[in-house]
Amino acid sequence: MTTLATIQANVADMLRGRTDLNSQILTEIGLAVANYSRRATWITELRNGTIATVSGTTYYSTIDNSSSISYGTGLTGTAPTSTDSVSNMLELTFAKLTQGSTDWPLTRLPYKEFEAMLVNSSVSGTPDYITLYAGQIGLWPTPNAVFTLTLSGKFKPIVPSAATHESIFFDQHRELIELSVAKRMAQKWTHDPELVQLFSPLVTEQEQLLMAEGVSRRTTGRLRSSF
Protein backbone atom coordinates (compact mmCIF):
# COMPACT_ATOMS: atom_id res chain seq x y z
CA MET A 1 0.00 0.00 0.00
CA THR A 2 0.99 3.64 -0.48
CA THR A 3 2.71 5.23 2.51
CA LEU A 4 2.50 8.69 4.03
CA ALA A 5 6.01 9.46 2.76
CA THR A 6 4.92 8.80 -0.84
CA ILE A 7 1.90 11.11 -0.53
CA GLN A 8 4.10 13.80 1.03
CA ALA A 9 6.62 13.65 -1.83
CA ASN A 10 3.90 13.78 -4.49
CA VAL A 11 2.25 16.81 -2.91
CA ALA A 12 5.59 18.62 -2.71
CA ASP A 13 6.05 18.00 -6.44
CA MET A 14 2.55 19.34 -7.14
CA LEU A 15 3.52 22.52 -5.28
CA ARG A 16 6.42 23.13 -7.66
CA GLY A 17 8.97 21.26 -5.60
CA ARG A 18 8.29 22.85 -2.20
CA THR A 19 10.18 20.28 -0.12
CA ASP A 20 10.86 23.05 2.41
CA LEU A 21 7.21 22.65 3.45
CA ASN A 22 7.38 18.91 4.19
CA SER A 23 6.34 19.26 7.83
CA GLN A 24 3.34 21.39 6.88
CA ILE A 25 2.41 18.90 4.16
CA LEU A 26 2.45 16.07 6.71
CA THR A 27 0.12 18.06 8.95
CA GLU A 28 -2.28 18.79 6.11
CA ILE A 29 -2.34 15.13 5.01
CA GLY A 30 -3.45 14.17 8.51
CA LEU A 31 -6.11 16.88 8.52
CA ALA A 32 -7.39 15.81 5.09
CA VAL A 33 -7.68 12.15 6.12
CA ALA A 34 -9.41 13.16 9.35
CA ASN A 35 -11.81 15.38 7.39
CA TYR A 36 -12.84 12.66 4.92
CA SER A 37 -12.97 10.10 7.74
CA ARG A 38 -15.90 11.98 9.27
CA ARG A 39 -18.05 10.90 6.34
CA ALA A 40 -19.66 7.46 6.48
CA THR A 41 -18.40 6.24 3.10
CA TRP A 42 -17.89 2.70 1.80
CA ILE A 43 -14.18 2.62 2.61
CA THR A 44 -14.89 2.99 6.33
CA GLU A 45 -16.96 -0.21 6.48
CA LEU A 46 -15.96 -2.88 9.00
CA ARG A 47 -17.65 -6.11 10.04
CA ASN A 48 -17.28 -8.65 12.85
CA GLY A 49 -16.03 -6.39 15.59
CA THR A 50 -16.95 -7.96 18.94
CA ILE A 51 -17.73 -7.06 22.53
CA ALA A 52 -17.83 -9.60 25.36
CA THR A 53 -20.65 -8.52 27.63
CA VAL A 54 -20.33 -8.39 31.40
CA SER A 55 -23.16 -9.40 33.69
CA GLY A 56 -24.83 -6.29 35.10
CA THR A 57 -23.16 -3.88 32.62
CA THR A 58 -25.40 -1.94 30.22
CA TYR A 59 -22.95 0.30 28.32
CA TYR A 60 -19.71 -0.57 26.49
CA SER A 61 -16.98 1.66 25.05
CA THR A 62 -14.40 -0.68 23.47
CA ILE A 63 -14.69 -3.06 20.51
CA ASP A 64 -12.38 -6.01 19.84
CA ASN A 65 -11.25 -5.85 16.20
CA SER A 66 -8.86 -8.80 16.25
CA SER A 67 -11.21 -10.82 13.99
CA SER A 68 -12.79 -7.95 12.09
CA ILE A 69 -12.85 -7.56 8.32
CA SER A 70 -12.54 -4.25 6.50
CA TYR A 71 -11.61 -2.88 3.08
CA GLY A 72 -7.93 -2.89 4.01
CA THR A 73 -5.46 -2.87 6.84
CA GLY A 74 -5.21 0.89 6.39
CA LEU A 75 -8.65 1.26 7.92
CA THR A 76 -7.09 1.13 11.37
CA GLY A 77 -3.49 2.07 10.63
CA THR A 78 -0.58 0.01 9.31
CA ALA A 79 -2.36 -3.11 10.58
CA PRO A 80 -5.73 -3.71 12.25
CA THR A 81 -5.56 -2.71 15.89
CA SER A 82 -6.74 -5.27 18.41
CA THR A 83 -9.24 -2.83 19.92
CA ASP A 84 -11.08 0.28 18.82
CA SER A 85 -13.18 2.86 20.60
CA VAL A 86 -16.93 2.90 20.04
CA SER A 87 -16.53 6.67 19.72
CA ASN A 88 -14.94 6.02 16.30
CA MET A 89 -18.12 4.33 15.04
CA LEU A 90 -19.84 6.54 12.50
CA GLU A 91 -22.72 4.19 11.80
CA LEU A 92 -24.09 0.97 13.34
CA THR A 93 -25.28 -1.27 10.52
CA PHE A 94 -25.96 -4.64 12.15
CA ALA A 95 -25.63 -6.27 15.56
CA LYS A 96 -26.16 -9.80 16.84
CA LEU A 97 -25.64 -11.70 20.08
CA THR A 98 -24.16 -15.14 20.41
CA GLN A 99 -24.23 -17.59 23.27
CA GLY A 100 -22.86 -21.03 22.58
CA SER A 101 -23.99 -21.95 19.07
CA THR A 102 -27.06 -19.70 19.07
CA ASP A 103 -27.17 -16.33 17.28
CA TRP A 104 -29.93 -13.73 17.26
CA PRO A 105 -30.11 -10.19 15.81
CA LEU A 106 -30.66 -7.15 18.00
CA THR A 107 -33.15 -4.38 17.29
CA ARG A 108 -31.69 -0.88 17.07
CA LEU A 109 -33.49 1.71 19.19
CA PRO A 110 -33.15 5.50 19.18
CA TYR A 111 -31.28 6.56 22.31
CA LYS A 112 -34.27 8.42 23.79
CA GLU A 113 -36.47 5.30 23.65
CA PHE A 114 -33.68 3.11 24.95
CA GLU A 115 -32.95 5.34 27.93
CA ALA A 116 -36.67 5.58 28.76
CA MET A 117 -36.75 1.80 29.23
CA LEU A 118 -33.90 2.06 31.75
CA VAL A 119 -35.68 4.60 33.94
CA ASN A 120 -36.65 2.93 37.23
CA SER A 121 -35.85 -0.43 35.64
CA SER A 122 -33.62 -3.13 37.03
CA VAL A 123 -34.47 -5.65 34.33
CA SER A 124 -31.63 -7.96 33.37
CA GLY A 125 -31.55 -10.95 31.07
CA THR A 126 -30.82 -11.71 27.44
CA PRO A 127 -30.57 -8.41 25.51
CA ASP A 128 -32.97 -7.74 22.63
CA TYR A 129 -32.21 -4.06 21.96
CA ILE A 130 -29.14 -1.99 21.19
CA THR A 131 -28.41 1.72 20.94
CA LEU A 132 -25.41 3.86 19.98
CA TYR A 133 -24.89 7.16 21.78
CA ALA A 134 -22.10 9.29 23.27
CA GLY A 135 -19.40 6.91 22.12
CA GLN A 136 -21.00 3.90 23.80
CA ILE A 137 -23.03 0.84 22.86
CA GLY A 138 -26.01 0.17 25.13
CA LEU A 139 -27.83 -3.17 25.56
CA TRP A 140 -31.28 -3.85 27.05
CA PRO A 141 -32.21 -5.77 29.03
CA THR A 142 -28.91 -5.40 30.85
CA PRO A 143 -26.94 -8.61 30.22
CA ASN A 144 -27.14 -11.17 33.01
CA ALA A 145 -24.38 -13.36 31.56
CA VAL A 146 -21.47 -13.34 29.16
CA PHE A 147 -22.63 -12.99 25.54
CA THR A 148 -20.64 -12.18 22.42
CA LEU A 149 -21.92 -9.05 20.72
CA THR A 150 -20.89 -8.88 17.04
CA LEU A 151 -21.08 -5.55 15.25
CA SER A 152 -20.83 -4.29 11.70
CA GLY A 153 -20.70 -0.61 10.84
CA LYS A 154 -18.58 2.28 9.68
CA PHE A 155 -15.58 3.48 11.67
CA LYS A 156 -13.25 6.44 11.43
CA PRO A 157 -9.88 5.22 10.13
CA ILE A 158 -6.85 6.06 12.25
CA VAL A 159 -5.04 9.13 10.92
CA PRO A 160 -1.52 8.24 9.67
CA SER A 161 1.30 10.20 11.31
CA ALA A 162 4.59 8.39 10.55
CA ALA A 163 6.35 8.16 7.19
CA THR A 164 5.74 4.39 6.92
CA HIS A 165 2.07 4.58 7.88
CA GLU A 166 -0.51 3.52 5.33
CA SER A 167 -4.18 4.38 4.93
CA ILE A 168 -7.15 2.95 3.10
CA PHE A 169 -7.56 6.46 1.66
CA PHE A 170 -4.07 6.30 0.15
CA ASP A 171 -4.86 2.91 -1.36
CA GLN A 172 -8.36 3.56 -2.70
CA HIS A 173 -8.52 7.35 -3.21
CA ARG A 174 -4.95 8.54 -3.51
CA GLU A 175 -5.75 11.37 -5.92
CA LEU A 176 -8.41 12.74 -3.58
CA ILE A 177 -5.93 13.05 -0.72
CA GLU A 178 -3.07 14.39 -2.82
CA LEU A 179 -5.16 16.99 -4.61
CA SER A 180 -7.04 18.13 -1.51
CA VAL A 181 -3.77 18.51 0.41
CA ALA A 182 -2.16 20.41 -2.47
CA LYS A 183 -5.15 22.75 -2.53
CA ARG A 184 -5.00 23.25 1.25
CA MET A 185 -1.30 24.02 1.03
CA ALA A 186 -1.84 26.56 -1.75
CA GLN A 187 -4.58 28.23 0.31
CA LYS A 188 -2.96 28.20 3.74
CA TRP A 189 0.78 28.14 3.25
CA THR A 190 1.98 29.23 -0.21
CA HIS A 191 -0.92 31.65 -0.80
CA ASP A 192 -0.99 30.76 -4.48
CA PRO A 193 -4.43 31.54 -5.98
CA GLU A 194 -3.38 30.12 -9.34
CA LEU A 195 -2.80 26.67 -7.84
CA VAL A 196 -5.98 26.90 -5.75
CA GLN A 197 -7.96 27.56 -8.92
CA LEU A 198 -6.16 24.71 -10.69
CA PHE A 199 -6.75 22.12 -7.94
CA SER A 200 -10.32 23.07 -6.93
CA PRO A 201 -12.24 21.38 -9.79
CA LEU A 202 -9.99 18.32 -9.54
CA VAL A 203 -10.75 17.95 -5.82
CA THR A 204 -14.47 18.28 -6.52
CA GLU A 205 -14.24 15.60 -9.19
CA GLN A 206 -12.48 13.19 -6.82
CA GLU A 207 -15.02 13.82 -4.04
CA GLN A 208 -17.82 13.04 -6.49
CA LEU A 209 -16.08 9.81 -7.50
CA LEU A 210 -15.80 8.76 -3.85
CA MET A 211 -19.52 9.30 -3.28
CA ALA A 212 -20.55 7.79 -6.62
CA GLU A 213 -18.67 4.58 -5.89
CA GLY A 214 -20.45 4.31 -2.56
CA VAL A 215 -23.84 4.74 -4.26
CA SER A 216 -22.92 2.07 -6.81
CA ARG A 217 -21.97 -0.42 -4.11
CA ARG A 218 -25.13 0.20 -2.09
CA THR A 219 -27.38 -0.05 -5.15
CA THR A 220 -26.02 -3.24 -6.70
CA GLY A 221 -24.15 -4.92 -3.88
CA ARG A 222 -21.09 -5.10 -6.13
CA LEU A 223 -18.98 -2.93 -8.38
CA ARG A 224 -20.53 -2.22 -11.74
CA SER A 225 -18.71 -3.11 -14.91
CA SER A 226 -17.28 -0.12 -16.72
CA PHE A 227 -17.70 -1.79 -20.11
Statement to judge: residues 10 and 26 lie in one domain: yes
The residue from 155, 175, 208 where one domain ends is: 155
Statement to judge: residues 50 and 135 lie in one domain: yes
Please tell me the total count of domains within the chain. 2
Query: What are the helix (H) ranges across 106-192?
Result: 111-118, 168-172, 174-188
Phi and psi at residue 224, in whole multiples of 5°? Answer: -80, 145
The residue from 155, 180, 204 where one domain ends is: 155
| Chain length of the chain | 227
CA separation for the pair 47, 65 (Å, rounded) = 9
pTM: predicted TM-score of the whole model, two decimal places = 0.76
Residue 76 resides in a domain: yes
Select the more confidently predicted residue: 39 or 114. Answer: 114
Residue 92 resides in a domain: yes
Residue 87 resides in a domain: yes
Please check whether residue 52 is in contact with residue 145, taking contact to mean a CB–CB distance below 8 angstroms. Answer: no
Q: What is the pLDDT of residue 72?
A: 53
Residue 121 resides in a domain: yes
- Using omega within 30 degrees of 0 as the cis cutoff, is the peptide bond preceding 141 cis? yes
CA separation for the pair 125, 62 (Å, rounded) = 21
Residue 225 resides in a domain: no
The residue from 155, 189, 206 where one domain ends is: 155
| Mean pLDDT (the chain, rounded) | 86
Answer yes or no: is pLDDT of 78 > 50: no
Answer yes or no: is pLDDT of 122 > 50: yes
Q: What is the pLDDT of residue 216?
A: 65
Statement to judge: residues 137 and 74 lie in one domain: yes
CA separation for the pair 24, 65 (Å, rounded) = 32
**Would you call 217 helix, strand, or coil by DSSP?**
helix
Statement to judge: residues 151 and 196 lie in one domain: no
Please check whether residue 163 is in contact with residue 5, taking contact to mean a CB–CB distance below 8 angstroms. Answer: yes
Residue 20 resides in a domain: yes
Statement to judge: residues 136 and 177 lie in one domain: no
**Would you call 102 helix, strand, or coil by DSSP?**
strand
Domain span at residue 90 reads 45-155
Statement to judge: residues 72 and 113 lie in one domain: yes
| pLDDT-derived band at 218, boundaries 50, 70, 90 | low
Residue 226 resides in a domain: no
pLDDT tens digits, 84-121 = 889 888 889 999 999 999 999 999 999 999 999 988 77
pLDDT tens digits, 157-216 = 778 888 888 888 888 889 999 999 999 999 999 999 999 999 999 999 999 988 887 676
Statement to judge: residues 49 and 134 lie in one domain: yes
Give mean pLDDT, residues 212-222: 63
